[in-house]
Amino acid sequence: MLKFISMKLGLALLVALTVSFISFILLYMAGDPAVSIAGEGATADVIAAIRQQYGFDRPLLAQYIEWLMRALSGDFGMSYYFKMPVSDMVAERLPVTITIGVLGMGFALVLAIPMGVLAAAFPNSWLDRLALGIAVVGQAIPSFWFGLILIVIFSVNLGLVPASGTRHWTGYILPMIVLGYYATPAIMRLTRAGMLEVLSADYIRTARAKGLNWRSILFKHALRNAIIPVVSLAAVQLGFMFGGSVVVETIFALHGAGFLAWESISRNDLPTMQALILIFSMFYIGFTLLADILNAWLDPRLRSG
Amino acid sequence: MSDIPMTEAAAITAPPSPARLLARKALRHRGFMLGLVVVGFITLVAVFAPFLAPHDPYKQDLLARMARPVFLGGDWKHILGTDALGRDYLSRMLYGARVSLMIGLVAAMISAVIGTTLGILGGYFGGKVDAVVMFIVSVRLALPATLVALAVVALFGGSLTVVVLVLGFLLWDRFAVVMRSATMQVRQMDYIAAAEVLGASLPRILWKDVLPNVMNALIVIITLEMAHAIILEAALSFLGLGVQPPTPSWGLMISEGKEMLLFESWLITIPGIALFILLLAINVLGDGIRDITAPEGRN
């Protein structure tokens, strides 16, 4: 187990290092950063001074290593646009993104797992079809459009929840649904497939033959075994959701890290872009690592592989 | 040897050819047929948009702004109404189908080439090659696709070419993962060992023996990733960092109609429903192909 964890940890660190290099390189694909800091109409002298001041005239690798060392200590430099330390802005915005991400995942799990279990318990029934319908629609519905439609129905026409902002807790409801529905189809399909496999196993037949309560067989004995791959999928999806929250935060005007990413990207604010791409990647890498370890702990067969 | 009745009898009892079996399964699969018909219809609309469109999709008519569609009390001159610049909505919808399908198709092709190459190499060679492939896939998955796409479009400008290339170079992960495991299975087969013993060259084995046998899985992923590329293009255009105005993209039309959300919600409903139907049809088609090409007894 310790060998497994250290191997996975080493791999995750290597992936993180590569990703950090890629997000650093992004700045260099954009052309001369000194020009974009100086702004339009700056003289060559000013640009040269900025280049020296920010250290853009040094070798790329040296700049990368310095940037990485600073990033590791939580210093992502100053935002070109907001003229504030990037880490302060991110720290202020991240809680909103984490809140809707976690709420969204909760919504997805609460919807997907019972539906997946019931769909597998009654294959080809109307419940199974409903679950399939929810999954198929969820895969095809563009989340930004779904969000707008929910705003039209629940905020504009019914006036139940605010259309934007999070001053009141009800402002989190629609973003939670939109973000959560996005993760639902995959989780539901995996739960259903896992349950179908487990339910055909011998020990389930034995349990039924012994006259055990069907509901306790489903939710206690079968689900416990079918849930293992679902746990790891959910962890990975949560990583995706943080990165994908930019769309939801923009529609509902939630001032989270995703919205900050959109603001900084549309204003060519490179240090903020770099920092956010790196941070969202780190979340994903962390969650995948967690999922791998959790999986190995729950299912010892995986440890050798 | 010229016993004609015998051969006729044999022909009757002989099992139907694989192609005919496939066709029979396809015709019986409701989802597949429905998806095929809808995707086929939208493709035809996209191809013949210049002939079908009643107006020029770019022509502004400021005197006829925000005309309502026929079903909301508008007149037949603009069947789906006009947008805030007085451009005919139906014509923009028809041309928008071109943008979506073109981006979906080309991006899926680019990512299919990248992902399939990586996946087949990893699956065939295993060991260190496979470890490298899986490492590249992990790095790609760790990068948040939406943010990276937004950033690259912001840096290089939102032309159709840039959007297609960004999506093509971002969405190959599923190809790599699926092709890798499909190739691992094919690798175990006797005909691969036979080809190796016969001294077939490596490119020949990969091209003539491996690729045809993972083709079914490949086609399924191509359809699903087409839908993925279309939905991402729409999201990028919606956020203002995808296809740029005045190009008619469904995502962009939803973004433009967003301002009028409270008063004229049909402006976002029409392109939204079109997008939803297209994505639904492509996904159902992909699932159908998977069912049909799966070996007997598997679902």
**ipTM of model:** 0.85
Count contacts between A and B (CB, < 8 Å).
127
Distance of alpha carbon A18 from alpha carbon A24, whole angstroms: 10
Q: Which tokens go with A187?
A: 């989780």
The DSSP code for B172 is -
Mutate to test the interface with B, among A148, A150, A164, A283 (most CBs of B within 10 A): A148
| pLDDT tens readout for residues A205-235 | 888 888 778 788 887 778 888 888 888 888 8
Q: Which tokens go with B67?
A: 């005309």
Distance of alpha carbon A114 from alpha carbon A230, whole angstroms: 12
- Nearest chain B CA: its distance from A46 CA (Å): 23
Distances in Å between the Cα of B55 and the Cα atoms of B79, B228, B255 are: 11, 30, 22
Q: Is the pLDDT of residue B251 over 60?
A: yes
**Residue A85: strand, helix, or coil:** strand
B144 lies within 8 A of chain A by CB: yes
User: What is the per-residue pLDDT for B258?
Assistant: 83
A135-159 burial, b at 16+ Cβ within 10 Å, e below that, comes to bbbbbbbbbbbbbbbbbbebbeeee
Residues from chain B contacting residue A262 (CB–CB below 8 Å): 150, 239
User: What is the per-residue pLDDT for B134?
Assistant: 92
Calculate the CA dihedral of residues B97, B291, A233, A284 and round it to 10 degrees. -40
A276 lies within 8 A of chain B by CB: yes
| pLDDT tens readout for residues B132-168 | 999 999 999 998 888 888 888 888 877 888 999 999 9
| pLDDT tens readout for residues B223-250 | 989 999 999 998 988 888 888 888 888 8
What does each of the 305 residues of chain A score in pLDDT, given as a tens digit? 788 888 889 889 999 999 999 888 876 666 666 666 666 667 777 777 777 777 777 777 888 888 888 888 888 887 878 888 888 888 888 998 999 999 999 999 999 999 998 898 888 889 888 988 888 888 889 888 998 888 888 887 787 777 776 667 777 888 999 999 988 999 999 999 888 888 888 888 888 888 778 788 887 778 888 888 888 888 888 888 888 888 899 888 888 888 898 888 888 888 888 889 889 999 999 998 988 888 888 776 666 54
B154 lies within 8 A of chain A by CB: yes
The whole-angstrom distance between residue A186's C-alpha and the CA centroid of its chain comes to 14
Mean pLDDT score, B277-298: 81
Mean pLDDT score, B176-200: 87
User: What is the per-residue pLDDT for B26?
Assistant: 80
B1 — pLDDT class (breaks 50, 70, 90): very low
Distance of alpha carbon B159 from alpha carbon B140, whole angstroms: 23
Distances in Å between the Cα of B56 and the Cα atoms of B60, B66, B69 are: 9, 16, 17
The whole-angstrom distance between residue B108's C-alpha and the CA centroid of its chain comes to 6
DSSP string across B113-147: HHHHHHHHHHHHH-HHHHHHHHHHHHHHHHS-HHH
Residues from chain A contacting residue B144 (CB–CB below 8 Å): 240, 242-244, 277, 280-281, 284
Helix axis angle, A257-266 to A223-251, nearest 10° = 40
User: What is the per-residue pLDDT for B102?
Assistant: 92
B278 — pLDDT class (breaks 50, 70, 90): very high
Distance of alpha carbon A143 from alpha carbon A178, whole angstroms: 6
**Residue A102: strand, helix, or coil:** helix
What is the chain A residue with the closest CA to B138?
A15
Residues from chain B contacting residue A235 (CB–CB below 8 Å): none
B138 lies within 8 A of chain A by CB: yes
Spatial CB neighbours of B252, under 8 Å, sequence gap ≥ 6? B237, B238, B242, B243, B244, B245
B191 — pLDDT class (breaks 50, 70, 90): confident
Q: Where are the alpha helices (DSSP H) in B126-209?
A: 127-142, 145-156, 160-170, 173-187, 190-197, 202-204
User: What is the per-residue pLDDT for A37?
Assistant: 67
User: What is the per-residue pLDDT for A110?
Assistant: 93
Closest-CA residue to B252 (of B41, B34, B103)? B103
Q: Is the pLDDT of residue B64 over 80?
A: no
The whole-angstrom distance between residue B133's C-alpha and the CA centroid of its chain comes to 24
Q: Which CATH class is domain B18-49+92-297?
A: mainly alpha
The DSSP code for A56 is T
Q: Is the pLDDT of residue B2 over 50?
A: no
Residues from chain B contacting residue A143 (CB–CB below 8 Å): 235
Distance of alpha carbon A23 from alpha carbon A265, whole angstroms: 13
Q: Do B138 and A26 touch (CB under 8 A)?
A: no
Mean of all residue pLDDT scores within chain A: 84
Long-range contacts of A135-140 (CB under 8 A, 24+ apart): A135/A184, A135/A185, A135/A188, A135/A189, A136/A185, A136/B280, A136/B283, A136/B284, A137/B280, A138/A181, A138/A182, A138/A184, A138/A185, A139/A185, A139/B227, A139/B279, A139/B283, A140/B227, A140/B276, A140/B279, A140/B280, A140/B283
Mean pLDDT score, B116-127: 91
B148 lies within 8 A of chain A by CB: yes
Closest-CA residue to A239 (of A17, A74, A85, A16)? A16
Distance of alpha carbon B214 from alpha carbon B128, whole angstroms: 22
**Residue B199: strand, helix, or coil:** coil
Closest-CA residue to A251 (of A134, A114, A152)? A152
Residues from chain A contacting residue B266 (CB–CB below 8 Å): none
Mean pLDDT score, B287-292: 86
Backbone φ, ψ for residue B66 (5° rounding): 50, 40
Domain boundaries, chain B: 18-49+92-297
Q: Which tokens go with B170?
A: 């971002």
B211 — pLDDT class (breaks 50, 70, 90): confident
Q: Which tokens go with B223?
A: 């359809």
A29 vs B218, residue with greater confidence: B218
DSSP string across A147-200: HHHHIIIIIIIS--S-SS-SSSGGGGHHHHHHHHHHHHHHHHHHHHHHHHHHHT
Distance of alpha carbon A259 from alpha carbon B235, whole angstroms: 14
**Looking at A12-53, which runs of residues are DSSP E strands?**
none
Distance of alpha carbon A138 from alpha carbon B225, whole angstroms: 15
The DSSP code for A256 is S
Residues from chain A contacting residue B146 (CB–CB below 8 Å): 243-244, 246-247
Backbone φ, ψ for residue A211 (5° rounding): 90, 20
